[in-house]
Amino acid sequence: MAQAWGLSPRGARRSVLIAAGMDADRWESPIHSFTEDERIELRAATSAAIRVYERLLNAI
């Protein structure tokens, strides 16, 4: 998981942080620096974004 976070594009990490209500400037922070509650919020924000993109993909 840590490697996947670190290899994700900057914009994607920033977008997920913003969607989770966190400071987008933490995009360079390693995933293990987030608390468990923050990681839960990041997972929820990522899942919501995936659902939106899937709806868009299906609409095209």
What pLDDT shows up at residue 2?
Answer: 65
Rounded-to-5 percentages of helix, strand, coil across the chain: 80, 0, 20
Per-residue pLDDT of the chain (60 residues; tens, 9 = 90+): 667 888 889 999 999 999 999 999 999 999 999 999 999 999 999 999 999 999 999 999
d(CA 21, CA 44): 11
What pLDDT shows up at residue 5?
Answer: 85
Say what the pTM is: 0.84
What pLDDT shows up at residue 30?
Answer: 93
